[in-house]
Structure 1
Amino acid sequence: MTGREFFRTRTVAEALAGFRPARRTPAETVPLADALHRVPVAPVRAPAALPGFARSTVDGFAVRAADTYGASEGLPSYLDLAGAVLMGAAPGVEVGPGRCVAMPTGGVLPDGADAVVMVEFTAETMPGTIEVTRPVAPGAGLVRADEDVAAGADLVPAGRPLRAPDLGLLAAAGVVDLAVHARPRVVIISTGDEVVAPSTATLRPGQVRDATASALAGLVRDAGGEPVYAGIVPDDPGALEAVLREVLPGADLVVVSAGSSVGARDETAGAVAALGEIWCHGLAVKPGKPTLLAECAGVPVVGLPGNPLSALVVFRLVGVPLVGRLAGADAPPPEPTVRARLARDVPSAAGRLDVVQVTVRDGVAEPVFGPSALLSVLTRADGCVVVGEPATGLDAGAEVEVTLYR
């Protein structure tokens, strides 16, 4: 590899489809309260049917549906009130021919009943007699004992991060602990003689505070990983390789934020190549072309450009899905999007993916342009528009899909 060549350039689509390390984090057992967004290692099956008993979904009266056929306001059906069901208790009465039982929403359906008529379509014409003015079909106003989940059926699948409703269903089934993939440990390494800690009070000429590492840590947490900061590595030959050797045994993913110069890129590529195999060195994307993807000792390594905007854009594209994959997810969860009209022309070059930052107001997407060294371009944006490789730009007024930042 010469000092002024990319090792192997790929498209973003090729990277997402082809760079798929086999590594997965091990299983750990967590309480249900800590399981949000975690990925089960295996399907969690229902130990019993849910809700476990036939129950009413409305306030009304449990009936035999046949006793209401033909009922109308002009010719109602009259039923004898046999009693009432109390919440949290088994029914003490049955529903026989010509009889009904008062029901609360969620109450246990008494034996003999096959429907519940809503209270809005009834009236108590005299003590102990209920007038029904609308017919109901069998199954109306109730759920079966196994209608939510059958015994032995999957409550939640493996490979999909748990959402809030999943936690509710698991709680309903009595699942209070479950095995999930551990959060991936993502080691973040910053490089460069000019990079100093954010706590540096006074900058000397040429120095910059390390902004990228903090932002990457936030993206890692959002993706379900555990960021581990390994510090700032100087541009000394061999220094990065030594740090990589040190952190690889305890990492699930290593992210190197390198300088954008050819020399800095070569330093990262050389250190990584000494320890593993480079899958690509260069992505057909703007911003973020000088990106490296590799595996070292079974651990995926992502080498990012030093400019903060470029680093964060490309990590969203390929790093975030990689963190989710390491955590056991079969596919990244969909990001929120909105349709909008472009406020102005957006230039692009065929053969590369262009990621354009935009603000969105009243259905109009206004591009936010600026050098890749300016982090404020991202902080001002509400989301981004991706211009595909075949396109040579987008016209003002074109309808686009904006991926919104959370």
Structure 2
Amino acid sequence: MSGREFFTARTVAEALAGFRPARRTPVQTVPLAAALHRVPAAEVLAPAPLPGFTRSTVDGFAVRAADTYGASEGLPSYLDLLGAVRMGSAPEVSVSPGGCVAMPTGGVLPAGADAVVMVEFTAETMPGTIEVTRPVAPGGGLVRADEDVPAGAALVPAGRPLRASDLGLLAAAGVTDVGVHARPRVVIVSTGDEVVPPDTAELVVGQVRDATASALAALVTDAGGEPRVAGIVPDDPGALETTLRAVLPTADLVVVSAGSSVGARDETAAAVAALGTVWCHGLAIKPGKPTLLADCGGVPVVGLPGNPLSALVVFRLVGVPLVWRLAGCAVPPPEPSTRAVLSRDLASAAGRLDVVQVQLREGVAEPVFGPSALLSVLTRADGYVVVPEPATGLDAGVEVEVVLYR
């Protein structure tokens, strides 16, 4: 039986590097208000330079830098105040030798000036005369017309989820719509005679409510996908294959939450193999070994273990990057993490990646143990620690990286 169950086991690293479906979601145009965390299909180029004019970065006075050379508190330079620049307007005055113009932060640099001296290094000694006590170099206190972004340069790259700052830069350039990949449609199929819907009021002995589908849907949403829960399929031979045939044409990714028994896992493998190619059936990971990865007519399929903890651990490590990849993301955004000291020894087996849930207490990572059927292990954890495949464990007191749950 074990030969059937794990006939092409791979490491997690092999799965991430080797199982890379070519499928990508189509491109759609969305307004900036709907573009956060969406993945641009192509880099967006600046239609004009930014900021578009040479502007002051400080409050002060526009000057010819040469007129300030040698200025000090003991021997200041004296300049004639020729006027002032108003915000949002082109300058109506220019700077001539020996003169200066009052400048607000963000104001347009007047003709003749090549620097702005900060107001902190000036004083008005008499009406119309400005005393400068510190020299400024050409270009000081200002940004050039194309210093933020030259015309034709990339405002945002392709293949990286858009961040808040990206949307701000696009807006500054006058780009109000952007072409992004559609959100991947992820169909979640639960299986098992023992599994019943979450709204089941009374359970009979042996039944469990479907907790995994709801949690998987949340992970899909967090990764930018659109989840659709397709319901619960019994362990009857052929039922899963029939369901997969029905949902595959509507999906960019299918996730099967298998029953807990070996027979249920074999049924998943048989149904998927009848419709496509199984890339692996078994990952060298704890928890989550009975994981299946396959391609069915260009649609990737992930078969997860029946135990909720195992299913969610594996999907976070393998499924979430797959959702991002389908959405055109070249490198999935990293999860937040922190460093902490491990409170106790962790044993592991070489050649297997172990994922250990931990609680954080004042810089100390305390492992949280429990059977893989218990979701409370995850809810009590602040994050997890990975024991890599080559290691045989981690010693108490070592500093580890804790990947945080958001």
- For 2:74, the equivalent position in structure 1 comes to 74
Secondary structure class of the residue paired with 2:101: strand
Residue by residue over 1:247-278, the C-alpha shift from the partner in whole angstroms, topping out at 9 and shown as x without a partner, is 00010000000013210110000000000000
Residue by residue over 1:371-391, the C-alpha shift from the partner in whole angstroms, topping out at 9 and shown as x without a partner, is 000001001111100001111
1:182 corresponds to 2:182: yes
Query: What CA distance in whole angstroms lies between the structure 1 residues aligned with 2:379 and 2:39?
Result: 30
Structure 1 counterpart of 2:364, one-letter code: V
Residue by residue over 1:34-87, the C-alpha shift from the partner in whole angstroms, topping out at 9 and shown as x without a partner, is 000000000000000000000000000000100000000000000000100011
Query: What CA distance in whole angstroms lies between the structure 1 residues aligned with 2:332 and 2:2?
Result: 36
- For 1:231, the equivalent position in structure 2 comes to 231
Tell me, yes or no, if the aligned pair for 2:30 and 2:177 is still in contact at 8 Å: yes
- In structure 2, stretches of 5+ residues that fail to align are none
- For 2:405, the equivalent position in structure 1 comes to 405
Query: What CA distance in whole angstroms lies between the structure 2 residues aligned with 1:336 and 1:139?
Result: 39
Query: What CA distance in whole angstroms lies between the structure 2 residues aligned with 1:219 and 1:152?
Result: 37
Structure 2-normalised TM-score? Answer: 0.99
Residue by residue over 1:168-198, the C-alpha shift from the partner in whole angstroms, topping out at 9 and shown as x without a partner, is 0000000000100000000000001111111
Aligned-pair distance for 1:3?
Answer: 7.2
Tell me, yes or no, if the aligned pair for 1:3 and 1:266 is still in contact at 8 Å: no
Structure 2 counterpart of 1:95, one-letter code: V
Aligned-pair distance for 1:4?
Answer: 4.4
Query: What CA distance in whole angstroms lies between the structure 2 residues aligned with 1:20 and 1:4?
Result: 24
Structure 1 counterpart of 2:307, one-letter code: N
Query: What CA distance in whole angstroms lies between the structure 1 residues aligned with 2:104 and 2:44?
Result: 32
Structure 1 counterpart of 2:24, one-letter code: R
Query: What CA distance in whole angstroms lies between the structure 2 residues aligned with 1:108 and 1:308?
Result: 60
Structure 1-normalised TM-score? Answer: 0.99
- For 1:28, the equivalent position in structure 2 comes to 28
- For 1:288, the equivalent position in structure 2 comes to 288
Tell me, yes or no, if the aligned pair for 1:54 and 1:108 is still in contact at 8 Å: yes
Secondary structure class of the residue paired with 1:178: strand
Tell me, yes or no, if the aligned pair for 1:115 and 1:139 is still in contact at 8 Å: yes
Query: What CA distance in whole angstroms lies between the structure 1 residues aligned with 2:274 and 2:224?
Result: 30
Aligned-pair distance for 1:2?
Answer: 7.7
Q: Counterparts in 2 of 1:347-386, with a 5 A limit?
A: 347-386=347-386
1:316 corresponds to 2:340: no
Query: What CA distance in whole angstroms lies between the structure 1 residues aligned with 2:331 and 2:13?
Result: 14
- For 2:108, the equivalent position in structure 1 comes to 108
- For 2:37, the equivalent position in structure 1 comes to 37
Number of aligned residue pairs: 406
Structure 2 counterpart of 1:18, one-letter code: G
Secondary structure class of the residue paired with 1:279: strand
1:211 corresponds to 2:211: yes
Structure 2 counterpart of 1:120, one-letter code: E
Aligned-pair distance for 1:238?
Answer: 0.5
Aligned-pair distance for 1:5?
Answer: 3.3
Of residues 261-270 and 11-20 in structure 1, the stretch that sits farther from structure 2 once superposed is 261-270
Residue by residue over 1:21-40, the C-alpha shift from the partner in whole angstroms, topping out at 9 and shown as x without a partner, is 00000000000010000000
Tell me, yes or no, if the aligned pair for 2:39 and 2:329 is still in contact at 8 Å: yes
Query: What CA distance in whole angstroms lies between the structure 2 residues aligned with 1:362 and 1:258?
Result: 38
Tell me, yes or no, if the aligned pair for 2:5 and 2:281 is still in contact at 8 Å: no
Aligned-pair distance for 1:92?
Answer: 0.4
Root mean square deviation, CA, Å: 0.9
- For 1:192, the equivalent position in structure 2 comes to 192
Tell me, yes or no, if the aligned pair for 2:67 and 2:98 is still in contact at 8 Å: yes
- For 1:242, the equivalent position in structure 2 comes to 242
Query: What CA distance in whole angstroms lies between the structure 1 residues aligned with 2:121 and 2:211?
Result: 65
Tell me, yes or no, if the aligned pair for 2:5 and 2:266 is still in contact at 8 Å: no
Residue by residue over 1:104-152, the C-alpha shift from the partner in whole angstroms, topping out at 9 and shown as x without a partner, is 0000010111100000000000000000000000111100000000000
Residue by residue over 1:308-360, the C-alpha shift from the partner in whole angstroms, topping out at 9 and shown as x without a partner, is 00000000110000000000000111111111100111111111000000011
Secondary structure class of the residue paired with 2:73: coil
Of residues 2-11 and 241-250 in structure 1, the stretch that sits farther from structure 2 once superposed is 2-11
Residue by residue over 1:221-251, the C-alpha shift from the partner in whole angstroms, topping out at 9 and shown as x without a partner, is 1111000110010111100000000000010
- For 1:267, the equivalent position in structure 2 comes to 267
In the TM superposition, structure 1's runs of 4+ consecutive aligned residues that sit over 6 Å from their partners are: none
1:254 corresponds to 2:254: yes
Identity %: 84
Tell me, yes or no, if the aligned pair for 1:260 and 1:290 is still in contact at 8 Å: no
Cα distance, 1:41–1:246 mapped onto 2, change above 3 Å: same
Aligned-pair distance for 1:7?
Answer: 2.3
Tell me, yes or no, if the aligned pair for 1:3 and 1:263 is still in contact at 8 Å: no
1:392 corresponds to 2:392: yes
